Structure 1
Amino acid sequence: MKRAFVVLTDLSEAAAQAQGYAARLAARLHGRLVLLHVYLNIDPLRDPEELVLTTATELAGRERIRADLQQMARQQPVPTEAELSFDSLGPAVAKAVRQHQPLLLAVGRAAHPALLDRLLPHEVVPALQAARYPLLLVPEGWAETELPQRLLVAADGAPFTLAAPAWPLKELFNALQPTTAVVHVAPEVHGPSHGDVALKSVMSAQLFGPLTNNSLYEVREEAPADGILHAARELGAQLIVVLARPHTFLGSLFHRSVTAQVLRRSPVPVLVLPTVA
Protein backbone atom coordinates (compact mmCIF):
# COMPACT_ATOMS: atom_id res chain seq x y z
CA MET A 1 0.00 0.00 0.00
CA LYS A 2 1.18 3.52 -0.78
CA ARG A 3 2.50 5.52 2.17
CA ALA A 4 -0.13 7.92 3.49
CA PHE A 5 0.14 11.50 4.75
CA VAL A 6 -2.94 12.69 6.65
CA VAL A 7 -3.62 16.44 6.42
CA LEU A 8 -6.05 17.99 8.88
CA THR A 9 -7.84 20.65 6.87
CA ASP A 10 -10.36 23.36 7.70
CA LEU A 11 -10.32 24.56 4.05
CA SER A 12 -8.23 27.60 5.03
CA GLU A 13 -5.14 29.03 3.32
CA ALA A 14 -2.99 27.67 6.14
CA ALA A 15 -4.39 24.19 5.57
CA ALA A 16 -3.75 24.55 1.84
CA GLN A 17 -0.09 25.33 2.62
CA ALA A 18 0.16 22.13 4.66
CA GLN A 19 -1.53 20.19 1.86
CA GLY A 20 0.98 21.37 -0.70
CA TYR A 21 3.93 20.55 1.52
CA ALA A 22 2.60 17.09 2.39
CA ALA A 23 1.84 16.40 -1.28
CA ARG A 24 5.45 17.11 -2.24
CA LEU A 25 6.68 14.73 0.44
CA ALA A 26 4.19 12.09 -0.65
CA ALA A 27 5.26 12.44 -4.28
CA ARG A 28 8.87 11.66 -3.36
CA LEU A 29 7.72 8.32 -1.91
CA HIS A 30 5.06 7.70 -4.58
CA GLY A 31 2.61 7.96 -1.70
CA ARG A 32 -0.86 9.36 -1.16
CA LEU A 33 -2.71 12.07 0.75
CA VAL A 34 -5.74 11.90 3.01
CA LEU A 35 -7.55 15.22 3.47
CA LEU A 36 -9.40 14.99 6.79
CA HIS A 37 -11.99 17.63 7.64
CA VAL A 38 -13.56 17.38 11.10
CA TYR A 39 -16.60 19.33 12.20
CA LEU A 40 -15.63 21.21 15.35
CA ASN A 41 -17.74 23.19 17.79
CA ILE A 42 -16.12 26.62 17.45
CA ASP A 43 -18.52 28.23 19.93
CA PRO A 44 -17.41 27.28 23.46
CA LEU A 45 -20.73 28.58 24.90
CA ARG A 46 -22.91 26.50 22.62
CA ASP A 47 -24.95 23.62 24.05
CA PRO A 48 -23.39 20.35 22.79
CA GLU A 49 -26.86 19.03 22.05
CA GLU A 50 -27.21 21.71 19.38
CA LEU A 51 -24.16 20.52 17.44
CA VAL A 52 -26.06 17.93 15.44
CA LEU A 53 -28.42 19.88 13.23
CA THR A 54 -30.79 18.27 10.78
CA THR A 55 -32.10 21.31 8.99
CA ALA A 56 -31.94 21.47 5.23
CA THR A 57 -29.50 24.38 5.44
CA GLU A 58 -27.10 22.45 7.62
CA LEU A 59 -27.25 19.36 5.42
CA ALA A 60 -26.67 21.47 2.32
CA GLY A 61 -23.66 23.07 3.99
CA ARG A 62 -22.19 19.68 4.77
CA GLU A 63 -22.60 18.61 1.17
CA ARG A 64 -20.86 21.78 -0.01
CA ILE A 65 -17.90 21.00 2.22
CA ARG A 66 -17.84 17.42 0.96
CA ALA A 67 -17.86 18.68 -2.63
CA ASP A 68 -15.07 21.18 -1.88
CA LEU A 69 -12.96 18.43 -0.31
CA GLN A 70 -13.47 16.16 -3.29
CA GLN A 71 -12.56 18.96 -5.67
CA MET A 72 -9.37 19.65 -3.69
CA ALA A 73 -8.53 15.96 -3.76
CA ARG A 74 -8.81 15.88 -7.54
CA GLN A 75 -6.39 18.81 -7.82
CA GLN A 76 -3.56 17.16 -5.87
CA PRO A 77 -0.47 15.85 -7.71
CA VAL A 78 -0.68 12.49 -5.89
CA PRO A 79 -3.57 10.05 -5.25
CA THR A 80 -5.75 11.74 -2.64
CA GLU A 81 -8.75 10.73 -0.56
CA ALA A 82 -11.19 13.20 0.99
CA GLU A 83 -12.72 12.34 4.34
CA LEU A 84 -15.43 14.31 6.13
CA SER A 85 -15.91 13.28 9.77
CA PHE A 86 -18.69 14.20 12.17
CA ASP A 87 -16.92 12.64 15.14
CA SER A 88 -15.13 14.84 17.62
CA LEU A 89 -11.53 15.51 16.68
CA GLY A 90 -9.89 12.90 18.92
CA PRO A 91 -11.85 9.91 17.63
CA ALA A 92 -11.59 11.20 14.05
CA VAL A 93 -7.80 11.44 14.22
CA ALA A 94 -7.53 8.06 15.98
CA LYS A 95 -9.67 6.46 13.28
CA ALA A 96 -7.57 8.00 10.49
CA VAL A 97 -4.40 6.72 12.15
CA ARG A 98 -5.81 3.19 12.50
CA GLN A 99 -7.16 3.11 8.97
CA HIS A 100 -4.28 4.70 7.04
CA GLN A 101 -1.19 4.17 9.24
CA PRO A 102 0.23 7.46 7.93
CA LEU A 103 3.85 8.53 8.09
CA LEU A 104 2.71 11.73 9.75
CA LEU A 105 -0.15 14.09 10.49
CA ALA A 106 0.11 17.55 8.91
CA VAL A 107 -1.57 20.79 9.96
CA GLY A 108 -1.23 24.42 8.90
CA ARG A 109 -0.46 27.35 11.20
CA ALA A 110 -2.43 30.46 10.28
CA ALA A 111 -0.54 33.73 9.92
CA HIS A 112 -3.35 35.57 11.73
CA PRO A 113 -4.95 33.49 14.50
CA ALA A 114 -8.73 33.19 14.33
CA LEU A 115 -11.27 31.81 16.76
CA LEU A 116 -10.44 28.23 15.81
CA ASP A 117 -6.76 28.87 16.57
CA ARG A 118 -7.65 30.15 20.04
CA LEU A 119 -9.52 26.91 20.67
CA LEU A 120 -6.63 24.70 19.59
CA PRO A 121 -5.42 24.07 23.15
CA HIS A 122 -8.88 22.71 24.02
CA GLU A 123 -9.75 20.78 20.84
CA VAL A 124 -6.73 19.96 18.67
CA VAL A 125 -4.04 19.46 21.31
CA PRO A 126 -5.80 16.69 23.29
CA ALA A 127 -6.50 14.81 20.06
CA LEU A 128 -2.92 15.00 18.80
CA GLN A 129 -1.57 14.27 22.27
CA ALA A 130 -3.66 11.10 22.42
CA ALA A 131 -2.55 10.06 18.94
CA ARG A 132 1.18 10.33 19.87
CA TYR A 133 2.02 10.48 16.19
CA PRO A 134 4.60 12.49 14.22
CA LEU A 135 3.13 15.94 13.61
CA LEU A 136 4.18 18.32 10.84
CA LEU A 137 3.22 21.97 11.28
CA VAL A 138 3.56 24.22 8.23
CA PRO A 139 3.36 28.02 8.66
CA GLU A 140 1.05 29.77 6.25
CA GLY A 141 3.82 32.05 4.99
CA TRP A 142 6.18 29.24 3.95
CA ALA A 143 6.75 29.87 0.25
CA GLU A 144 9.49 27.38 -0.69
CA THR A 145 8.34 24.62 -3.01
CA GLU A 146 11.48 22.45 -3.00
CA LEU A 147 11.76 19.48 -0.69
CA PRO A 148 13.71 20.13 2.53
CA GLN A 149 17.44 19.62 2.04
CA ARG A 150 18.72 21.34 5.20
CA LEU A 151 17.43 19.68 8.34
CA LEU A 152 17.91 20.88 11.91
CA VAL A 153 17.30 18.48 14.81
CA ALA A 154 16.88 20.18 18.19
CA ALA A 155 18.02 17.98 21.08
CA ASP A 156 18.56 18.55 24.78
CA GLY A 157 21.34 16.94 26.80
CA ALA A 158 19.37 13.84 27.80
CA PRO A 159 19.17 10.50 25.95
CA PHE A 160 15.94 9.65 24.16
CA THR A 161 14.27 6.78 22.33
CA LEU A 162 11.89 7.48 19.49
CA ALA A 163 8.35 6.15 19.75
CA ALA A 164 7.49 3.42 17.25
CA PRO A 165 5.32 5.66 14.99
CA ALA A 166 8.44 7.76 14.23
CA TRP A 167 10.54 4.87 12.93
CA PRO A 168 8.95 4.63 9.44
CA LEU A 169 10.06 8.22 8.78
CA LYS A 170 13.50 6.80 8.04
CA GLU A 171 12.15 5.92 4.60
CA LEU A 172 11.29 9.58 3.99
CA PHE A 173 14.64 10.90 5.23
CA ASN A 174 16.48 8.31 3.14
CA ALA A 175 14.61 9.59 0.10
CA LEU A 176 15.28 13.24 0.92
CA GLN A 177 18.96 12.74 1.83
CA PRO A 178 19.15 16.07 3.66
CA THR A 179 22.16 17.69 5.26
CA THR A 180 21.46 17.40 8.99
CA ALA A 181 22.67 19.58 11.85
CA VAL A 182 22.02 18.83 15.52
CA VAL A 183 21.45 21.98 17.57
CA HIS A 184 21.93 22.05 21.32
CA VAL A 185 21.28 25.16 23.38
CA ALA A 186 23.19 25.79 26.61
CA PRO A 187 21.76 28.75 28.55
CA GLU A 188 25.08 29.40 30.32
CA VAL A 189 28.30 30.66 28.76
CA HIS A 190 30.63 28.48 30.81
CA GLY A 191 30.54 24.92 32.05
CA PRO A 192 29.59 21.65 30.36
CA SER A 193 26.93 21.98 27.71
CA HIS A 194 26.05 18.28 27.24
CA GLY A 195 26.02 18.89 23.50
CA ASP A 196 28.01 15.68 23.03
CA VAL A 197 25.18 13.72 24.70
CA ALA A 198 22.63 15.42 22.43
CA LEU A 199 24.62 14.54 19.32
CA LYS A 200 25.19 10.94 20.43
CA SER A 201 21.47 10.47 21.12
CA VAL A 202 20.48 11.78 17.70
CA MET A 203 23.12 9.61 16.05
CA SER A 204 21.80 6.52 17.85
CA ALA A 205 18.31 7.14 16.47
CA GLN A 206 19.70 6.38 13.00
CA LEU A 207 16.86 8.33 11.43
CA PHE A 208 18.34 11.51 10.02
CA GLY A 209 21.12 10.33 7.74
CA PRO A 210 24.90 10.32 8.28
CA LEU A 211 26.13 12.49 11.15
CA THR A 212 29.64 13.32 12.38
CA ASN A 213 31.07 15.37 15.24
CA ASN A 214 30.94 18.34 12.88
CA SER A 215 27.16 17.98 12.73
CA LEU A 216 26.77 19.56 16.17
CA TYR A 217 25.80 23.24 16.31
CA GLU A 218 25.91 24.68 19.81
CA VAL A 219 24.28 27.90 20.95
CA ARG A 220 25.28 29.46 24.26
CA GLU A 221 23.60 31.95 26.57
CA GLU A 222 20.18 31.90 24.94
CA ALA A 223 16.79 30.56 25.95
CA PRO A 224 16.21 27.15 24.29
CA ALA A 225 13.53 28.25 21.80
CA ASP A 226 15.47 31.40 20.90
CA GLY A 227 18.62 29.35 20.38
CA ILE A 228 16.86 26.82 18.16
CA LEU A 229 15.38 29.53 15.96
CA HIS A 230 18.72 31.38 15.92
CA ALA A 231 20.45 28.22 14.68
CA ALA A 232 17.74 27.68 12.06
CA ARG A 233 18.37 31.17 10.67
CA GLU A 234 22.15 30.78 10.73
CA LEU A 235 22.06 27.41 8.97
CA GLY A 236 19.24 28.19 6.54
CA ALA A 237 17.23 25.25 7.85
CA GLN A 238 14.23 24.20 5.75
CA LEU A 239 12.79 21.87 8.40
CA ILE A 240 13.15 21.85 12.19
CA VAL A 241 12.70 18.58 14.07
CA VAL A 242 11.86 18.72 17.78
CA LEU A 243 11.73 15.69 20.04
CA ALA A 244 8.80 15.56 22.45
CA ARG A 245 8.96 13.35 25.51
CA PRO A 246 5.85 11.52 26.81
CA HIS A 247 5.10 13.93 29.65
CA THR A 248 5.46 17.00 27.44
CA PHE A 249 4.21 15.85 24.04
CA LEU A 250 2.17 18.86 22.95
CA GLY A 251 0.77 19.04 26.45
CA SER A 252 1.77 22.68 26.76
CA LEU A 253 1.18 23.66 23.16
CA PHE A 254 0.42 27.38 22.87
CA HIS A 255 1.63 27.86 26.44
CA ARG A 256 5.20 27.88 27.74
CA SER A 257 7.07 24.77 26.62
CA VAL A 258 10.05 24.95 24.28
CA THR A 259 8.15 22.90 21.71
CA ALA A 260 5.22 25.31 21.98
CA GLN A 261 7.40 28.37 21.40
CA VAL A 262 9.11 26.83 18.39
CA LEU A 263 5.77 25.77 16.90
CA ARG A 264 4.27 29.21 17.39
CA ARG A 265 7.25 31.25 16.19
CA SER A 266 9.13 29.21 13.60
CA PRO A 267 9.08 30.70 10.09
CA VAL A 268 9.91 27.24 8.67
CA PRO A 269 8.02 23.94 8.95
CA VAL A 270 8.42 21.99 12.19
CA LEU A 271 8.20 18.22 12.64
CA VAL A 272 7.40 17.00 16.16
CA LEU A 273 8.50 13.43 16.89
CA PRO A 274 7.22 11.58 19.97
CA THR A 275 9.68 9.69 22.14
CA VAL A 276 9.21 7.01 24.78
CA ALA A 277 11.90 8.40 27.07
Structure 2
Amino acid sequence: MKSTFVVLTDLSAAAEKAQAYTARLAARLQGRLVLLHVYLSIDPLRNPAELVLTTAAELAGREQAQAALQQQARQLPVPAEAELSVDTLATAVAKAVRRHQPLLLAVGRATQPARLGPALPHAVVPVLRAARYPVLLVPESWPDAALPQRVLVAADGHPFTIAAPVQALRELLAALRPTTAVVHVAPQAHGPSHGDMALKSVWSTNLFGPLTSNSLYEVREETPADGILQAARELNSQLIVLLARPHTFLGGLFHRSVTAQVLRHSPVPVLVLPTVD
Protein backbone atom coordinates (compact mmCIF):
# COMPACT_ATOMS: atom_id res chain seq x y z
CA MET A 1 0.00 0.00 0.00
CA LYS A 2 1.36 3.38 -1.00
CA SER A 3 2.14 5.94 1.69
CA THR A 4 -0.60 8.57 1.74
CA PHE A 5 -0.47 12.26 2.60
CA VAL A 6 -3.72 14.18 3.15
CA VAL A 7 -3.67 17.87 2.24
CA LEU A 8 -6.50 20.02 3.57
CA THR A 9 -7.26 22.54 0.85
CA ASP A 10 -9.51 25.55 0.45
CA LEU A 11 -8.34 25.95 -3.18
CA SER A 12 -6.22 28.97 -2.19
CA ALA A 13 -2.66 29.80 -3.26
CA ALA A 14 -1.46 28.80 0.22
CA ALA A 15 -3.11 25.40 -0.15
CA GLU A 16 -1.48 24.92 -3.56
CA LYS A 17 1.94 25.60 -2.01
CA ALA A 18 1.20 22.95 0.63
CA GLN A 19 0.18 20.51 -2.10
CA ALA A 20 3.37 21.07 -4.11
CA TYR A 21 5.59 20.70 -1.04
CA THR A 22 3.80 17.60 0.21
CA ALA A 23 3.91 16.06 -3.26
CA ARG A 24 7.72 16.25 -3.18
CA LEU A 25 7.71 14.41 0.14
CA ALA A 26 5.33 11.78 -1.24
CA ALA A 27 7.49 11.31 -4.32
CA ARG A 28 10.44 10.29 -2.16
CA LEU A 29 8.37 7.32 -0.92
CA GLN A 30 6.57 6.76 -4.23
CA GLY A 31 3.46 7.72 -2.32
CA ARG A 32 0.21 9.49 -3.12
CA LEU A 33 -1.77 12.56 -2.11
CA VAL A 34 -5.37 13.03 -1.13
CA LEU A 35 -6.66 16.59 -1.61
CA LEU A 36 -9.48 17.07 0.88
CA HIS A 37 -11.79 20.04 0.38
CA VAL A 38 -14.69 20.61 2.74
CA TYR A 39 -17.46 22.39 0.87
CA LEU A 40 -19.29 24.79 3.15
CA SER A 41 -22.97 24.28 2.41
CA ILE A 42 -25.37 27.17 2.32
CA ASP A 43 -27.57 27.33 5.42
CA PRO A 44 -30.64 25.14 4.71
CA LEU A 45 -32.75 27.22 7.13
CA ARG A 46 -33.23 30.00 4.63
CA ASN A 47 -36.47 31.31 3.25
CA PRO A 48 -38.26 28.32 1.64
CA ALA A 49 -38.95 30.48 -1.42
CA GLU A 50 -35.18 30.63 -1.97
CA LEU A 51 -34.59 26.93 -1.38
CA VAL A 52 -34.80 25.74 -4.98
CA LEU A 53 -32.49 28.48 -6.24
CA THR A 54 -30.15 27.95 -3.32
CA THR A 55 -29.98 24.22 -3.95
CA ALA A 56 -29.28 24.77 -7.65
CA ALA A 57 -26.59 27.31 -6.85
CA GLU A 58 -25.06 25.04 -4.23
CA LEU A 59 -24.95 22.07 -6.58
CA ALA A 60 -23.30 24.23 -9.21
CA GLY A 61 -20.81 25.44 -6.63
CA ARG A 62 -19.97 21.90 -5.62
CA GLU A 63 -19.43 20.87 -9.23
CA GLN A 64 -17.18 23.86 -9.81
CA ALA A 65 -15.14 23.13 -6.68
CA GLN A 66 -14.87 19.44 -7.57
CA ALA A 67 -13.66 20.30 -11.08
CA ALA A 68 -11.02 22.67 -9.71
CA LEU A 69 -9.92 20.06 -7.19
CA GLN A 70 -9.61 17.35 -9.85
CA GLN A 71 -7.62 19.67 -12.09
CA GLN A 72 -5.17 20.38 -9.27
CA ALA A 73 -4.85 16.65 -8.58
CA ARG A 74 -4.04 15.93 -12.23
CA GLN A 75 -1.29 18.55 -12.24
CA LEU A 76 0.62 17.05 -9.33
CA PRO A 77 3.73 14.94 -10.03
CA VAL A 78 2.48 12.03 -7.91
CA PRO A 79 -0.78 10.05 -7.95
CA ALA A 80 -3.44 12.20 -6.31
CA GLU A 81 -7.08 11.77 -5.42
CA ALA A 82 -9.58 14.62 -5.07
CA GLU A 83 -12.12 14.39 -2.27
CA LEU A 84 -14.88 16.92 -1.78
CA SER A 85 -16.89 16.52 1.41
CA VAL A 86 -20.12 18.16 2.48
CA ASP A 87 -19.71 16.89 6.03
CA THR A 88 -18.56 19.10 8.85
CA LEU A 89 -14.81 19.65 8.92
CA ALA A 90 -14.44 17.40 11.96
CA THR A 91 -16.33 14.55 10.32
CA ALA A 92 -14.56 14.95 6.98
CA VAL A 93 -11.10 14.83 8.55
CA ALA A 94 -12.02 11.90 10.79
CA LYS A 95 -13.28 9.94 7.79
CA ALA A 96 -10.16 10.75 5.79
CA VAL A 97 -7.91 9.59 8.62
CA ARG A 98 -9.82 6.32 8.99
CA ARG A 99 -9.94 5.67 5.25
CA HIS A 100 -6.41 6.60 4.27
CA GLN A 101 -4.30 6.24 7.44
CA PRO A 102 -2.07 9.09 6.23
CA LEU A 103 1.50 9.71 7.29
CA LEU A 104 0.55 13.30 8.02
CA LEU A 105 -2.02 16.02 7.49
CA ALA A 106 -0.77 19.09 5.60
CA VAL A 107 -2.15 22.62 5.43
CA GLY A 108 -0.98 25.90 3.96
CA ARG A 109 -0.45 29.15 5.85
CA ALA A 110 -1.31 32.28 3.90
CA THR A 111 1.24 35.08 3.64
CA GLN A 112 -1.09 37.77 4.93
CA PRO A 113 -2.05 37.31 8.63
CA ALA A 114 -5.61 38.37 7.87
CA ARG A 115 -5.89 35.35 5.60
CA LEU A 116 -4.80 32.84 8.23
CA GLY A 117 -8.43 32.05 9.02
CA PRO A 118 -9.38 30.91 5.50
CA ALA A 119 -6.09 29.04 5.09
CA LEU A 120 -6.38 27.20 8.39
CA PRO A 121 -9.89 27.57 9.86
CA HIS A 122 -10.11 27.83 13.63
CA ALA A 123 -12.43 24.83 13.52
CA VAL A 124 -9.59 22.60 12.30
CA VAL A 125 -7.67 23.05 15.56
CA PRO A 126 -9.74 20.69 17.75
CA VAL A 127 -10.05 18.31 14.81
CA LEU A 128 -6.30 17.92 14.44
CA ARG A 129 -5.80 17.82 18.18
CA ALA A 130 -8.31 14.99 18.47
CA ALA A 131 -6.86 13.16 15.46
CA ARG A 132 -3.43 13.17 17.14
CA TYR A 133 -1.70 13.00 13.78
CA PRO A 134 1.45 14.74 12.62
CA VAL A 135 0.59 18.10 11.09
CA LEU A 136 2.69 19.88 8.47
CA LEU A 137 2.20 23.63 8.03
CA VAL A 138 3.69 25.13 4.85
CA PRO A 139 4.02 28.93 4.53
CA GLU A 140 2.74 30.28 1.24
CA SER A 141 5.93 32.35 0.95
CA TRP A 142 8.33 29.38 1.28
CA PRO A 143 10.44 29.51 -1.91
CA ASP A 144 12.62 26.42 -1.51
CA ALA A 145 11.72 23.67 -3.95
CA ALA A 146 14.23 21.20 -2.50
CA LEU A 147 13.42 18.54 0.06
CA PRO A 148 14.51 19.54 3.57
CA GLN A 149 18.13 18.66 4.27
CA ARG A 150 18.65 20.79 7.38
CA VAL A 151 16.12 19.96 10.08
CA LEU A 152 15.75 21.67 13.43
CA VAL A 153 14.09 19.68 16.22
CA ALA A 154 13.01 21.82 19.17
CA ALA A 155 13.03 20.06 22.56
CA ASP A 156 12.39 21.45 26.03
CA GLY A 157 14.51 19.04 28.07
CA HIS A 158 11.60 17.15 29.61
CA PRO A 159 11.04 13.46 28.79
CA PHE A 160 8.37 12.50 26.27
CA THR A 161 7.15 9.60 24.18
CA ILE A 162 6.02 10.16 20.60
CA ALA A 163 2.40 9.27 19.78
CA ALA A 164 1.77 6.09 17.80
CA PRO A 165 0.97 7.75 14.43
CA VAL A 166 4.35 9.49 14.48
CA GLN A 167 6.15 6.15 14.22
CA ALA A 168 5.02 5.87 10.61
CA LEU A 169 7.14 8.90 9.71
CA ARG A 170 10.34 6.99 10.39
CA GLU A 171 10.56 5.78 6.76
CA LEU A 172 10.09 9.29 5.37
CA LEU A 173 12.68 10.86 7.67
CA ALA A 174 15.12 8.08 6.86
CA ALA A 175 14.59 8.65 3.15
CA LEU A 176 15.28 12.38 3.49
CA ARG A 177 18.58 11.77 5.35
CA PRO A 178 18.71 15.29 6.74
CA THR A 179 21.30 16.88 8.98
CA THR A 180 19.51 17.33 12.30
CA ALA A 181 20.11 19.93 14.98
CA VAL A 182 18.40 19.56 18.35
CA VAL A 183 17.65 23.04 19.63
CA HIS A 184 17.14 23.80 23.29
CA VAL A 185 16.26 27.30 24.50
CA ALA A 186 17.20 28.44 28.01
CA PRO A 187 15.89 31.76 29.35
CA GLN A 188 18.86 32.28 31.67
CA ALA A 189 22.35 33.32 30.62
CA HIS A 190 24.23 30.99 32.97
CA GLY A 191 23.74 27.75 34.85
CA PRO A 192 22.40 24.34 33.81
CA SER A 193 20.11 24.38 30.79
CA HIS A 194 19.03 20.70 30.50
CA GLY A 195 20.12 20.75 26.87
CA ASP A 196 21.74 17.33 27.33
CA MET A 197 18.37 15.95 28.40
CA ALA A 198 16.73 17.47 25.34
CA LEU A 199 19.28 15.79 23.07
CA LYS A 200 18.84 12.44 24.81
CA SER A 201 15.05 12.59 24.52
CA VAL A 202 15.17 13.31 20.79
CA TRP A 203 17.84 10.65 20.24
CA SER A 204 15.64 8.06 22.00
CA THR A 205 12.89 8.44 19.38
CA ASN A 206 15.14 6.95 16.66
CA LEU A 207 13.41 9.24 14.18
CA PHE A 208 16.17 11.63 13.20
CA GLY A 209 19.18 9.51 12.36
CA PRO A 210 22.51 9.53 14.19
CA LEU A 211 22.83 12.32 16.76
CA THR A 212 25.95 13.28 18.67
CA SER A 213 26.83 15.95 21.21
CA ASN A 214 27.61 18.18 18.24
CA SER A 215 23.94 17.93 17.22
CA LEU A 216 22.90 20.06 20.20
CA TYR A 217 22.41 23.78 19.54
CA GLU A 218 21.59 25.96 22.53
CA VAL A 219 20.10 29.42 22.62
CA ARG A 220 20.29 31.47 25.81
CA GLU A 221 18.35 34.43 27.15
CA GLU A 222 15.41 34.06 24.79
CA THR A 223 11.80 32.99 25.07
CA PRO A 224 11.23 29.50 23.65
CA ALA A 225 9.47 30.62 20.45
CA ASP A 226 11.92 33.43 19.71
CA GLY A 227 14.84 31.13 20.47
CA ILE A 228 13.58 28.46 18.09
CA LEU A 229 13.09 30.97 15.28
CA GLN A 230 16.52 32.51 16.00
CA ALA A 231 18.15 29.08 15.78
CA ALA A 232 16.32 28.36 12.52
CA ARG A 233 17.80 31.53 11.02
CA GLU A 234 21.30 30.89 12.32
CA LEU A 235 21.31 27.27 11.13
CA ASN A 236 19.57 28.05 7.83
CA SER A 237 17.04 25.34 8.69
CA GLN A 238 14.63 24.10 6.02
CA LEU A 239 12.20 22.41 8.39
CA ILE A 240 11.29 22.99 12.04
CA VAL A 241 9.99 20.03 14.03
CA LEU A 242 7.97 20.77 17.16
CA LEU A 243 7.22 18.11 19.75
CA ALA A 244 3.80 19.01 21.12
CA ARG A 245 2.45 17.58 24.34
CA PRO A 246 -1.20 16.52 24.73
CA HIS A 247 -2.26 19.63 26.64
CA THR A 248 -0.69 21.98 24.10
CA PHE A 249 -1.07 20.17 20.77
CA LEU A 250 -2.45 22.91 18.52
CA GLY A 251 -4.73 23.93 21.37
CA GLY A 252 -3.21 27.40 21.49
CA LEU A 253 -2.76 27.82 17.75
CA PHE A 254 -4.53 31.17 17.75
CA HIS A 255 -3.53 32.14 21.27
CA ARG A 256 -0.34 32.02 23.34
CA SER A 257 1.48 28.68 23.14
CA VAL A 258 5.01 28.19 21.86
CA THR A 259 3.59 26.03 19.07
CA ALA A 260 1.21 28.86 18.16
CA GLN A 261 3.94 31.47 17.94
CA VAL A 262 6.25 29.32 15.84
CA LEU A 263 3.45 28.29 13.48
CA ARG A 264 2.39 31.89 13.04
CA HIS A 265 5.83 33.36 12.43
CA SER A 266 8.08 30.64 11.01
CA PRO A 267 9.29 31.46 7.50
CA VAL A 268 10.01 27.74 6.92
CA PRO A 269 7.69 24.71 7.01
CA VAL A 270 6.85 23.37 10.46
CA LEU A 271 6.09 19.74 11.31
CA VAL A 272 4.18 19.27 14.58
CA LEU A 273 4.54 15.82 16.15
CA PRO A 274 2.16 14.88 18.97
CA THR A 275 3.67 13.22 22.03
CA VAL A 276 2.33 11.41 25.06
CA ASP A 277 3.63 12.45 28.48
TM-score range for the pair, normalised by the shorter chain length: over 0.9
- Counterparts of 1:13-162 in structure 2 under 5 Å? 13-40=13-40, 49=45, 55-114=55-114, 117=117, 122-162=122-162
The whole-number CA distance in structure 2 between the counterparts of 1:65 and 1:102 is 23
State whether residues 106 and 136 of structure 2, in contact with CA within 8 Å, keep that contact through their aligned partners in structure 1.
yes
Give the TM-score normalised by structure 2: 0.94
Misfit runs of 4+, over 2 Å: 46-50, 113-116, 118-122
Residue identity matched to 2:125: V
Corresponding residue for 2:268?
268
**In 2: Cα distance, 1:266 partner to 1:75 partner:** 28
- Once residues 12 and 61 of structure 1 are traced to their aligned partners in structure 2, the CA distance between those partners, rounded to angstroms, is 16
Q: Which amino acid aligns with 1:106?
A: A
Q: Which residue in the other structure is 2:178 paired with?
A: 178
Mapped partners of 1:158, 1:49: distance in 2: 51
Distance in 2, matches of 1:269 and 1:126, equals: 21
Given residue 73 of structure 1, which amino acid in structure 2 is its aligned partner?
A
Question: Deviation of residue 118 (structure 1)?
Answer: 7.0
Counterparts of 2:187 and 2:240 in 1: how far apart (Å)?
Answer: 20
Residues 36-71 of structure 1, C-alpha deviations (whole Å, 9 max, x = no match): 001247xxxx96745xx7521111111000011111
Asked whether the equivalents of residues 107 and 137 of structure 1 are also in contact (C-alpha less than 8 Å), the reply is yes
After TM superposition, the structure 1 stretch with the greater mean CA deviation from structure 2, 125-134 or 179-188, is 125-134
CA drift at 1:113: 3.5
Structure 1: runs of 5+ lacking an equivalent: none
RMSD: 1.7
Task: Assess if the C-alpha contact under 8 Å between 2:104 and 2:136 holds in 1.
Answer: yes
Q: Deviations over 1:78-113 (max 9, x none)?
A: 000000001111111111111001100000000113
Q: What secondary structure, in the 3-state scheme, does the structure 2 residue paired with 1:205 have?
A: coil
Query: Matches of 1:173 and 1:116 in 2, distance apart?
Result: 28
Q: TM-score, normalised by structure 1?
A: 0.94
* 1:152–1:183 contact (8 Å) kept in structure 2: yes
Gaps of 5+ in 2: none
The number of equivalent residue pairs is 271
